[in-house]
Structure 1
Amino acid sequence: MQTIPSALISSILDNDFYKITMQQGVIRLFPAAKARYKFINRGKHVFPDGFSVALRKAVNEMALLKLSKEEKQFLAVNCPYLDPVYLDFLEGYRFNPEEVHIEQQGDQLSVHIEGLWYRTILWEVPLMSLICELFYTMNHSERISKEAIISRTREKIEKYRELGITVAEFGTRRRYSYQVHRLVLQALSEYGTGSFIGTSNVHMAMLHQTKPIGTHAHEWFMFHAAYYGFKMANAMGLEHWVQVFRGDLGIALSDTYTTDVFFRQFDKMFSKLFDGVRHDSGDPLEFANKVIAHYQHMGIDPRSKTIIFSDGLDYEKVERIAEYCRNRVGMSFGIGTNFTNDAGPKAMNIVIKMTEAHPKDGEWTEVVKLSDEPGKHTGTEATINLAKVILNIP
């Protein structure tokens, strides 16, 4: 078996910002809730012998991570909507590797996470990045050179600047490696003036003195469905987000139960209060049309709102979307794997999703995601069908 470098995750903030923001919301509103998550191998990747052992070692090492004084200060200064009480909590937080269950049968990997939601919420992103980096290392994958990564990234961000759009880096979960991620941020920071506006990775934002970007993920609404039912999930999720952040972090994720269902509950109050919406599945041009029509119906100028496009983007897709939306609605782009895993080998296609939630005084309830692209649905067939019936989704 190949020797694996230790401490692949070196900072507790090497995570996506929406995990931090959601964790504050969960601590405030649902401190007794529990959650279960599952690794989904969408790309049917074959894992080498000993992979689970290497992953277990890397996960165990995460128990040593803790928020430094400098990291706490960075969050306090740059994210004033994070409570001092929450920052004190995060300073004392430690990953508990016992919450992560790892097995390997032949060449197939099984990973499950279970525990209090406010604790387990931080596992998904670093776990996925660990799986990716170990996969490439143990398969002896060869990547392009440091100079080539910087050159490719520079070329991309300069082309985006020529398009006249703003771009954020969203690629932590499926990055080739931590080092490649650092190189990408180095190039974006150096050559991206006028286009590059920040990163979803809090650690990288601090290292490169840029803005951490993110609001909430699908699991926020999935939990609300377990607690309040499918019909109330979007409205209660948005209501609670406003309750916690009071107008900050105002980009709403729209496709947990399809965009059509979301807009039924995205009433005038929410439409005015939130700065815009994020697109994460389905046809982006069709989505743009729906967003523009919705705001016009509400008597709101769509150009005063923003769509964050973040679904598997590359230059060609971004160019097509930008030309379609220009002068019709505000827009920005979150680009992930095309930045952080364009290093030679094929990018992995993996996810980790919440599968069950246990609200306080409730019981374990299956949760699902019904995105605008059926191939991205998650959950059991029975629960997916139940949600479709309740929400009148064909």
Structure 2
Amino acid sequence: MKLNQIITSLLETDMYKFSMGEAIYHQFSDYKTTWTFKCRNTDVHFTAEMVQEIKEQIKAYCSLRFTEQELDYLNRITWIKGSYIDFLRLWQPRYEDFKISDEAECGLSIETFGTWLNTSLYEIPTLAIVNEVYFRMAYDYDRLYASFRERLEQKIKDASGRYEIGSFSEFGLRRRLSAEAQELAVRKLKEAEFRGSEFVGTSNVYLAKKYNLTPVGTMAHEWIMCVGQGNHKHNPAYSNWYALDAWVREYGVLNGIALTDAITTDCFLRDFQLTYATLFSGVRHDSGDPVEWGEKMIAHYQKLGIDPANKTLLFSDSLDFARAHELYEHFRNRTKVAFGIGTYISNDTEVPALNIVMKTTLCNGMDVAKISDTPGKGMCKNPDYVHYLKRCIDWRMNHDR
């Protein structure tokens, strides 16, 4: 490796990977998935030297094991069960599950294959490695880091005086400039004194442990996609029902923020009826117009006879402090409002951040897809399956009342 090791702990992933991981372990341990990397930036190219460094960094990541201290930390989280901790004690990443090459338009192709238990845990460290390798090798990193520090100081000053956003967390691991940049941001945010705002946590479990913050995260789109579409007996238009049902079987009333936009929020609301709306403490926004979405969720709770003031709307889509302030002012007197803010905190420099993702593209040999509330945020290798999924959703929305 030409760079220092980027991922140095298996805790260095987003919290929702462990939340989903436990439920996968107990209910879907035989599921197999394929994950595919995609760079959405049309002007970005990974050199052969970068690809080789990414390979070496992922090999180093695959040499890691959980320490007993790390497992003890996870075991203290209310909803994590001892049986899953025992699994993690034996778990190790497998480099053999990765296929990495330069055979892509952007110069980098990554796919992972294997059990969902394994491949789910690869996504976040892989993206963090790709980001840091790119920014350290494509630019003058010291200059980028200096601009990052300068902008971070201004953000904290603005958040301390100009903006009120209530509770917010840092969600930037997968697209961070570097490990040191994300850690600096988390440390500075914890030390800052805000007016009308409170920094409560981070999705990065390693940093949450290190700085005594709340590790934040419940479910991602992969949960709805694989649970709902990975069984050929399921009608994929009911993906949310299968996913919510499995989640409640695992956690009951704990760990309950539901993601709404895997196959559109309107379809989600067909399944988010009284039982689930009562059991889940709130919902997360990740695509579409956030004000329209929030109003829709409040109206849905009211229709069910549930007081929205007792529920949380968590916004996590491309936020900065100014936008979070607007949303907080709009909703603050009617419901609990929280924010997960990612790239704006962890990778704001003088050059644009990468727009890279790694998504589930196959589950049990079958295509899976996301149909979000924002066109273009989905990813599927088979356009015919996307067409089929849309037809299933349309039929349900028009016929299944």
Please report the TM-score for the alignment, with normalisation by the length of structure 2: 0.92
When residues 216 and 159 of structure 1 are mapped into structure 2, their CA distance, relative to the original with a 3 A threshold, is farther
Aligned to 1:361: none
When residues 156 and 126 of structure 1 are mapped into structure 2, their CA distance, relative to the original with a 3 A threshold, is farther
Count of residues in correspondence between the two structures: 385
When residues 159 and 42 of structure 1 are mapped into structure 2, their CA distance, relative to the original with a 3 A threshold, is farther
Is 1:118 the equivalent of 2:117? yes
Deviates further, 68-77 or 205-214: 68-77
Q: Partners of 1:156 and 1:9 in 2: how far apart?
A: 31
In the TM superposition, 1:232-243 aligns within 5 A as: 232-243=238-249
2:230 alignment partner AA: A
Is 1:330 the equivalent of 2:336? yes
* SS of match in other structure, 1:57: helix
2:253 alignment partner AA: G
CA contact (8 A) 2:112 2:119 kept: yes
When residues 134 and 232 of structure 1 are mapped into structure 2, their CA distance, relative to the original with a 3 A threshold, is same
Aligned to 2:295: 289
In the TM superposition, 1:192-271 aligns within 5 A as: 195-224=198-227, 225-227=229-231, 228-271=234-277
Shift of 1:238: 0.4
Q: Partners of 2:282 and 2:205 in 1: how far apart?
A: 22
Shift of 1:120: 1.1
2:75 alignment partner AA: A
What CA deviation, in whole Å up to 9, does each residue of 1:247-305 have, x standing for no partner? 11110000000000000110100011101100000000000111011001101111111
Shift of 1:164: 4.8
Q: Partners of 2:383 and 2:30 in 1: how far apart?
A: 28
Q: Partners of 1:375 and 1:156 in 2: how far apart?
A: 32
Q: Specify every segment of 5 or more residues in structure 2 that has no aligned partner in the other structure, as ranges.
A: none
1:261 alignment partner AA: C
Determine which of 339, 342, 348 is the counterpart of 2:345.
339
Deviates further, 92-101 or 151-160: 151-160
2:211 alignment partner AA: H
Q: Partners of 2:319 and 2:29 in 1: how far apart?
A: 36
Shift of 1:219: 0.4
Q: Partners of 2:156 and 2:67 in 1: how far apart?
A: 31
Aligned to 1:320: 326
Percentage of pairs with the same residue:
32
In the TM superposition, 1:173-188 aligns within 5 A as: 173-188=174-189
CA contact (8 A) 2:37 2:109 kept: yes
Q: Specify every segment of 5 or more residues in structure 1 that has no aligned partner in the other structure, as ranges.
A: 359-363
Q: Partners of 2:299 and 2:171 in 1: how far apart?
A: 28
Q: Partners of 1:180 and 1:329 in 2: how far apart?
A: 33
Q: Partners of 2:85 and 2:31 in 1: how far apart?
A: 20
Is 1:376 the equivalent of 2:382? no
Shift of 1:91: 1.8
* SS of match in other structure, 2:175: coil
CA contact (8 A) 1:124 1:352 kept: yes
Shift of 1:48: 2.2
Deviates further, 91-100 or 198-207: 91-100
What CA deviation, in whole Å up to 9, does each residue of 1:66-112 have, x standing for no partner? 111221121122x1211111112112211101111111047521110
CA contact (8 A) 2:165 2:324 kept: no
Q: Partners of 1:192 and 1:157 in 2: how far apart?
A: 9
Structure 1 segments (4+ residues) deviating >3 Å: none
Is 1:90 the equivalent of 2:96? no
Is 1:38 the equivalent of 2:65? no
Aligned to 1:15: 13
Q: Partners of 2:384 and 2:106 in 1: how far apart?
A: 28
Shift of 1:154: 2.5
Please report the TM-score for the alignment, with normalisation by the length of structure 1: 0.94
